[in-house]
């Protein structure tokens, strides 16, 4: 089937009829949206590929949830879904609520029937519990944050911190006494400076 000559809405109708090739085509066609949205995003300790996967999940949700009869263009809806998915992933990662799960130390005891005396009660689980690697990672993070702070103004740092805490543009504006437009402009400047 020639998907190139079809509109997004026509392809979406085929997907609703369980056409796997149509799904793959639409995902590939709109994957540049994902690349664009993740270009300026960053999660400490994660790879760009992780953000790309989050963006693709957002694109998949857009394909699943889009309703053609509501007067919305699919690419606009997809951009919004991708943006929300990536932002949620970054916000969740920055909340640090999963740190206890991610920085655990495995505990293994020798079984009693082996006559063990529990010598290896605490076993190193690799990088996460290696003190040297954790210190180096912390230093690298501190160095990165110092470089970021050098490039940003005081206002931009304040806006960035509030944005990373998951506040909306309106909430950030209320917090710092600026309009949503000023917050948006500050975030655009931040993205521009950090992308360099």
Adjacent-strand bridge partners of 107: 122
81: in domain: yes
- Which contacts of 155-161 are long-range, i.e. CB under 8 A and separated by 24 or more positions? 155/186, 156/186, 156/189, 156/190, 156/193, 159/183, 159/186, 159/187, 159/190, 160/187, 160/190
164: in domain: no
* Domain encompassing residue 36: 3-95
pLDDT recorded at residue 29: 92
8: in domain: yes
Nearest to 16 by CA among 65, 56, 49, 85: 65
53: in domain: yes
For each of the chain's 196 residues, which pLDDT tens digit applies? 888 888 888 888 888 888 889 899 988 998 898 888 887 776 655 667 778 888 889 989 998 888 877 778 888 889 999 988 888 887 777 666 555 555 555 444 444 444 444 444 444 445 555 677 777 777 777 777 777 778 888 898 888 888 888 888 888 999 999 998 999 898 888 888 877 6
88: in domain: yes
pLDDT recorded at residue 125: 47
160: in domain: no
106: in domain: no
**Vertex 103: Cα angle to 98 and 109 (nearest 5):** 125
55: in domain: yes
* CATH code for the domain in which residue 69 is found: 1.10.1740.10
- The pTM of the full predicted model, rounded to 2 decimals, is 0.47
Domain count across the chain: 1
């Amino acid at each position: 089937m020639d998907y190139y000559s079809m509109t997004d809405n026509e392809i979406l109708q085929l997907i609703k009829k369980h056409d796997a090739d149509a799904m793959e085509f639409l995902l590939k066609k709109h994957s540049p949206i994902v690349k664009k949205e993740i270009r300026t995003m960053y999660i400490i300790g994660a790879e760009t590929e992780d953000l790309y996967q989050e963006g693709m999940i957002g694109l998949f949700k857009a394909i699943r949830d889009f309703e053609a009869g509501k007067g919305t263009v699919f690419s606009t809806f997809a951009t919004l879904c991708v943006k929300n998915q990536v932002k949620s992933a970054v916000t969740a990662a920055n909340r640090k609520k999963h740190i206890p799960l991610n920085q655990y130390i495995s505990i293994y005891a020798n079984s009693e029937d082996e006559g063990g005396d529990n010598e290896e009660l605490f076993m190193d689980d690799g990088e996460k519990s290696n003190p040297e690697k954790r210190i180096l990672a912390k230093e690298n993070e501190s160095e990165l944050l110092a470089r970021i702070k050098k490039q940003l103004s005081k206002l931009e740092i304040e806006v960035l911190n509030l944005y990373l805490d998951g506040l909306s543009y309106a909430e950030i504006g209320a917090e710092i006494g600026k309009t949503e437009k000023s917050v948006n402009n500050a975030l655009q400047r931040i993205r521009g400076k950090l992308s360099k």
